[in-house]
Amino acid sequence: MQSSKNTLLSLWQALFGDPIRAFGVVSLLLLIFLAIAPAKNHFSEWRHYQKQYLTLVRSRGDAVTLERHFHDHDGIQQIWLPQLGVVDRCTTCHAGLKETSLADVGTQPFRRHPAIPHTLDQFGCVMCHRGQGAATTVEEAHSSTLAWEQPILPARYVQSSCGQCHRAPLTGTPQLNLGRTLLARYGCVHCHTIKLPDGRAIKPTDDPPSLEHIADKTTREWIYKWLEDPQAYAVTATMPNFKLNEPDRRDISAFLIASSTPLAGDTAPVAKSEKPPDPTAGASLYGESFCASCHAVQNAAGNVVGGDVGPELTRVGTKVRPEWLQAWLHNPRVYDSGTAMPHYRFTDPQLTVLTAFLGNKTDSDLLANVHLDAATPEQIAHGKLLVTEYGCASCHEINGIKKPDNFAPELTRIGSKPLTQIIFLPGMQHAIPDYIAAKIRQPRAFGAALKMPQFSLAPAQIDALTTALLALTDRAHDLPMALTVPAKPPSDYQPAGRAGQLMSDLACFSCHAINGRGGDMAPDLTWEGSSVQRPWLQAFLKNPGTLRPALIRRMPRFNLSDDDAKELTDYIMTVYQTPAFDRDSMPSSGYPSAQVEQGRQLFYSKYACQSCHIVDTKVDKGYVGPTLTQVGARLNAAWVYHWLKDPQAMRPGAIEPNRNMSDEDARALTAFLMTQKGSRQEAKK
């Protein structure tokens, strides 16, 4: 202790012993301190990278050009876009972003930027990649530190940035498009309000069933099993797993059954046919009715085959009561007025056959170990409490329970949620994408008492959902409308009158879109009245024939009465007319034979239409487009002509290429196609 004190004392003496020496030492120190700033500048990271970049470009064939580009922009670079709120200095180190000849450079920060539709100068970097644009060190620009909130967005979520301005689906952003669909499809928005920047809230598309008459439909045992693990009943079920314990499942099932009210008609006894039904009749009726367009069934190999509009039917016989099933098949709109399922007009024998066929889709293992004693009033009361607490009524209508408002936190600006408001899990990177993905992957990892259930999502679906949520940033909401690419507002188009009622009853909008509303499984019918001939349409509604042989999803036969078919035909022919041309401007027959022959030549040689279409079943094989053997009896001549001139103008997104056809060619082809009258022509031969 004493000796070190002596050393210090002698050091003090040596440096500041007399005033002159002290002055010298202090001056020296001052000089050193003054030198720190220029030295820091000189040895800064970005200068180091710029030197490296120069070394790189000097080794290349086009060194002179590359060097000149670089020296035009020496020193710290900045892209400043006040309207977008962008201040980016990234190009200081990322010096080769615009150099196409650096395509083969694999090391950062000198890679060329891959081709995208936007330029660097107009959009900067942080708009898409996040990070701290104004920072000039690697660490500060890319990572989140105490002072900086925004780390670089991992490439797997980069499409979220497109979604800040682009509100409609884009060809180049399949992941974002999928994520936005899933937010509605998996019912996230039943509990979480998500308001889009244009002010409207995302609406769910999953339509969870009402539970007001659940006891008509199924048993308490099935509900109990379903609550334990919905995916054990149907692998495609979108209902999440609430991880309920045994007594809770018992009590919730007790409450749901107790609160259910019976519906007249659901209990009519199932008709028994006198003779044993043909075992193949059910399968063929199921096939003919194209049930598989919407419903999937898991086959022996474990593959789920069929559509996903309606629920999977692999074990439906174990779930539903036969009486209910028969009533549902008779008219689903009695039980659920808004269902996507059409009201098939099945005959009584057909109903019996189909009810028996579906009722046989059972799984004896599913409910084998479920034994429930009669429910006590306490259990029912506890069940009601649980149903309220878990927010079941956010998705399902339940007797005696009101739909809760704002049951879960609003996610309108989740993409910019301040990190200080988030409780991260230990070991997790402190960044918003990681938080969102982890929360979707395993919500209860953030606390066993949390209510958010466990969804069964594939990794790609989780990434897609995360991407869609990350697009909901402050910037997305605060951008001036002029700088965004808005989506078409959703349409709530509803056709009027009796035809409108019929179209709802037949659930046309589940597959067809009209005036912006409806599904995309079948053709858009907005201008159907200009497109087809009246007799064909009426016959088709009565008995839909095959237009596209390669499609597995086709228009089912609804057993429409003559009156109903006529009503629909009248409405479609009158209302769904394009303003683009006059339907009666071209005759449907009577074209000169020379013109018809010219059309035939054009069809087979110049335009080679037979690669995708069939007019002569003996020679032609193409089946990308519809079969044209009876197109002259099906389509309107003026429609054919205008379609040939510009298919995309008639139906946006049509895959038939625009051939830039001359008027003369289009007229000749129309003449030829209008002679294809199908069976009538064949009968003449």
Partner 1 sequence: MMIRSWRTFFVTSLMLVIAGCTRNPGPASALKPTAFGAALVESSGGKQIGPTGMVLPQPLVVQVNDEQGAAVTGALVEFSGPAGVTFDPASGLTDSSGQFTTNVTLGNMAGRYQLTAHTLTKAQKPVELKVEEIALGYQEQVGFQLDTKYCSRCHNPESTPERVSNYDNLEVKPHPFNEGDTLNKMTDADLTSIISHGGPALNKSALMPPYGYTLSKTEIEALIAYIRLISDPPYHASGIVNAQK
Task: Give the residues lining the site for partner 1 (CB under 8 A).
Answer: 59-62, 101, 104, 106, 111, 114-117, 154-156, 158, 171-172, 174-175, 305, 426-427, 459-460, 463, 550, 552, 605-608, 610-612, 621-624, 648, 655, 657-660
Smallest separation, CB 100 to partner 1 (Å): 10
* E strand residue ranges, 505-637: 513-514, 517-518
Return the number of the residue (504 or 610) whose C-beta is nearest partner 1: 610
Smallest separation, CB 616 to partner 1 (Å): 13
Using CA atoms, how far apart are residues 620 and 603, in angstroms rounded to an integer?
Answer: 11
Smallest separation, CB 441 to partner 1 (Å): 11
Return the number of the residue (193 or 236) whose C-beta is nearest partner 1: 236
Return the number of the residue (29 or 283) whose C-beta is nearest partner 1: 283
Q: Is 305 helix (H, G, I), strand (E, B) or coil?
A: strand
Residue 36 DSSP label: H
Using CA atoms, how far apart are residues 632 and 636, in angstroms rounded to an integer?
Answer: 8
| Residue at token pair 């988030």 | 422
Smallest separation, CB 174 to partner 1 (Å): 7
Return the number of the residue (6 or 108) whose C-beta is nearest partner 1: 108
Using CA atoms, how far apart are residues 218 and 537, in angstroms rounded to an integer?
Answer: 40
Using CA atoms, how far apart are residues 285 and 507, in angstroms rounded to an integer?
Answer: 19
| Residue at token pair 């057909």 | 350
Using CA atoms, how far apart are residues 97 and 114, in angstroms rounded to an integer?
Answer: 8
Residue 594 vs residues 255, 598, 677, 678: alpha-carbon distances, Å: 77, 6, 18, 21
Smallest separation, CB 120 to partner 1 (Å): 14
Q: Is 171 helix (H, G, I), strand (E, B) or coil?
A: coil
The answer to whether residues 544 and 506 touch, using CB atoms and an 8 Å cutoff, is: no
The answer to whether residues 553 and 290 touch, using CB atoms and an 8 Å cutoff, is: yes
Return the number of the residue (75 or 427) whose C-beta is nearest partner 1: 427
Return the number of the residue (385 or 551) whose C-beta is nearest partner 1: 551
Return the number of the residue (499 or 668) whose C-beta is nearest partner 1: 668
Return the number of the residue (104 or 562) whose C-beta is nearest partner 1: 104
Q: How many residues appear in the chain?
A: 685
Smallest separation, CB 585 to partner 1 (Å): 23
Return the number of the residue (39 or 608) whose C-beta is nearest partner 1: 608
Smallest separation, CB 601 to partner 1 (Å): 12
Smallest separation, CB 235 to partner 1 (Å): 16
- The one-letter code for the residue type at 169 is P
Q: Which two tokens stand for residue 279?
A: 């075992």
Smallest separation, CB 459 to partner 1 (Å): 5
Using CA atoms, how far apart are residues 44 and 38, in angstroms rounded to an integer?
Answer: 10
Using CA atoms, how far apart are residues 647 and 612, in angstroms rounded to an integer?
Answer: 15
Smallest separation, CB 94 to partner 1 (Å): 13
Return the number of the residue (19 or 427) whose C-beta is nearest partner 1: 427
Task: Identify the sign of the CA torsion 649, 651, 653, 655.
Answer: negative
Smallest separation, CB 59 to partner 1 (Å): 4
Smallest separation, CB 238 to partner 1 (Å): 19
- Cα dihedral 421, 425, 427, 429, rounded to 10, equals -40
Residue 428 vs residues 473, 568, 608: alpha-carbon distances, Å: 22, 59, 59
Return the number of the residue (32 or 305) whose C-beta is nearest partner 1: 305
Residue 531, burial from CB neighbour count under 10 angstroms (0-12, 13-18, 19+): buried
The answer to whether residues 208 and 396 touch, using CB atoms and an 8 Å cutoff, is: yes
Return the number of the residue (389 or 616) whose C-beta is nearest partner 1: 616
- Helices 348-359 & 279-288 angle (0-180, nearest 10): 100
According to DSSP, the β-strands at 513-514 and 304-306 are unpaired
Using CA atoms, how far apart are residues 283 and 262, in angstroms rounded to an integer?
Answer: 31
